[in-house]
Homo-oligomer: A and B are copies of this chain.
Amino acid sequence: MEPLQCGTSPIVGFRFTLNPMSGDFIKIIKGALKEIDTSTVWMNTDDVSTVIRGKQNHVFNVAKALTLHAAKTGEHVALNGTFSIGCPGDTSGDVYLDKDDVLLNTDSTKQYVSSQFALYPMNNPDYMAVIYREVERAKEHGVWNDSMHYASGIHGDIHDVFAFYEDSFIHARSEEHRHLVMTVSMSINSPSHGGAENA
């Protein structure tokens, strides 16, 4: 049993699956991994999911770039993942915190995405207030879609949506409450979307 300590590491992690609904799924995923720059993060893929770890700005940059690249194939793509920081059980391994802050993936192609997110501020008695505040932030960002059981709907251009997610991930934690988890489910090029007019 490891000791239960309070997390103080600035390492952000994102464990995710990127699922193209296509028989070409291997080609699409490998193509995305090959053509974007992942040198700013530690990355590992197992038989279920992929995890990236590093500085917050690079983790979000790589997550967005992978998703955008897969989306540009035109296939229906689903991204499901969990952003995490400050877990008391986290290890100090696999850090990439010595990188500078220059973002290496700068493709600004527009892409409509529809998504849902949920925030889990751990060991924080006021966590519901944090969640309601972040829902208000989504409205200020212009990416709010709707409310639903267990999640909140966020949509718009992929760059606006990821900018909101990163902003919310910063604001939903504090020095006192460092362990924050955020789940994101994103759907792109879905036949269920009406297209950009939904934005």
Contacts and interface: CB of A to CB of B under 8 A. Distances in A.
A123 B120 contact: no
A172 interface: no
Contacts of A15: 116, 148-151, 185
A123 to B, nearest CB: 6
A122 interface: yes
Interface in A176-192: 181, 183, 185-187, 190-192
A51 B21 contact: no
Interface residues of A, number: 58
A11 B80 CA distance: 24
Contacts of A102: none
B192 A116 contact: no
B23 A22 contact: yes
How many copies of this chain does one complex carry?
2
Contact of A185 (B80, B151, B186, B192): B80
B132 A82 contact: no
Interface string A45-81: 0111101010000000000000000000000101010
Contacts of A153: 46, 48
A193 to B, nearest CB: 6
Nearest to A88: B128
A196 interface: no
A47 B90 contact: no
Interface of A: 1-2, 4, 13, 15, 17, 19-23, 25-26, 46-49, 51, 53, 76, 78, 80, 82, 84, 87-91, 94, 114-116, 118, 120, 122-125, 127-129, 131-132, 148-151, 153, 181, 183, 185-187, 190-193
25 contacts: A4-B128, A15-B116, A15-B148, A15-B151, A15-B185, A17-B78, A17-B80, A17-B185, A19-B21, A22-B22, A23-B23, A46-B148, A46-B153, A47-B190, A48-B114, A48-B115, A48-B116, A48-B153, A48-B187, A49-B151, A51-B149, A53-B149, A80-B185, A91-B149, A122-B122
